[in-house]
A and B are shown apart, each in its own frame.
Chain A
Amino acid sequence: MTTYAIHRLLQGLLVLFLISVITFFLINLAPGGPTAAVTLGRTAEEREAVLRQLGLDKPVLVRYFDWLGGVLRGDLGKSMNQGLPVSSLLAQRSVNTLQLALTALLLTSIFGIVLGVLAAVYKNRWPDHLISSLATVGMSVPAFWMGIICMIMFAVRLKMLPSSGMYSIGQEFSIIDRLRHLAMPAGVLSFNLVPNVIRVTRSAMLDVLASDYVRTATGKGLSERRVLLKHTLQNAMVPVIAILGLITTVMLSGSVVVESVFGWAGLGRLAIEAANGRDYPVILGVTLLVGAIVVAVNLLVDLLYAAVDPRISHE
Chain B
Amino acid sequence: MDTPTIVSRSRFWLRVWRNPVGATAFGILLLLMLLVLFGSIFYPIASDATDPLNILATPSAAHLLGTDELGRDMLSRLIAGGRVSLSVGLLSMLVGLTIGTLAGGLAGYFRGWTETVLMRMVDVFMAIPSFFLVLVIVTVMGNHPLTVIISVGIGFWAQMGRVVYAEFTKYRSRNFVEAVHALGASHTRIMILHIFPQVLPQATVLATLGVGWAILTEAALSYLGLGIQPPLASWGNMLQNAQAYIYSNPWLAIYPGLLIATTVLTVNVLGNTLRDILDPRS
Q: Hey, which bits of chain A sit against chain B, CB under 8 A?
A: 11, 14-16, 18-19, 22-23, 26-27, 30-33, 136-137, 139-145, 148-149, 151-152, 156, 203, 249-250, 252-254, 256-257, 260-261, 271-272, 274-276, 278, 283, 286-287, 290-291, 294-295, 298
Contacts and interface: CB of A to CB of B under 8 A. Distances in A.
Interface in B122-142: 123-124, 126-133, 135-142
A22 B129 contact: no
Interface stretch (B96-104, B172-180, B195-203, B252-260): B252-260
A278 B139 contact: yes
Given A18-B120, A144-B220, A256 B132 contact: yes
B23 interface: no
Nearest to B140: A30
Contacts of A148: 239, 242-243, 246, 253, 257
Interface of B: 120-121, 123-124, 126-133, 135-142, 212, 216, 219-220, 223-226, 236, 239, 242-243, 246-247, 250, 253-254, 256-257, 260-261, 264-265, 267-269, 272, 282
Contacts of B136: 23, 26-27, 275, 283, 287
A14 B120 CA distance: 9
Contacts of B256: 145
Contacts of A254: 131
A30 B150 CA distance: 14
A295 B125 CA distance: 11
A275 B139 contact: yes
A118 to B, nearest CB: 18
Nearest to B220: A257
B123 A15 contact: yes
Contacts of B272: 136
A54 to B, nearest CB: 17
Contacts of A271: 132, 135
B202 to A, nearest CB: 18
B268 A33 contact: no
Contacts of B264: 139-142
Contacts of A143: 220
B145 to A, nearest CB: 16
Nearest to A257: B220
Contacts of B123: 11, 15
B219 A142 contact: yes
B261 A291 contact: no
A283 B220 contact: no
10 contacts: A18-B120, A23-B136, A136-B265, A137-B265, A140-B216, A141-B261, A145-B219, A148-B246, A272-B224, A294-B129
Contacts of B128: 19, 23, 287, 290-291, 294
Contacts of A287: 128, 132-133, 136
A22 to B, nearest CB: 6
Contacts of B129: 249-250, 252-253, 290-291, 294
Given A15-B123, A257-B224, A275-B226, A142 B140 contact: no
A253 B130 contact: yes
A209 B224 CA distance: 45
Nearest to A163: B246
Contacts of B138: 275
B269 to A, nearest CB: 6
Given A148-B239, A278-B139, A256 B131 contact: yes
B131 to A, nearest CB: 4
B130 A249 contact: yes
Contacts of B212: 139-140
A76 B261 CA distance: 39
B132 A290 contact: yes
B140 A27 contact: yes
A276 B131 contact: no
B269 A136 contact: yes
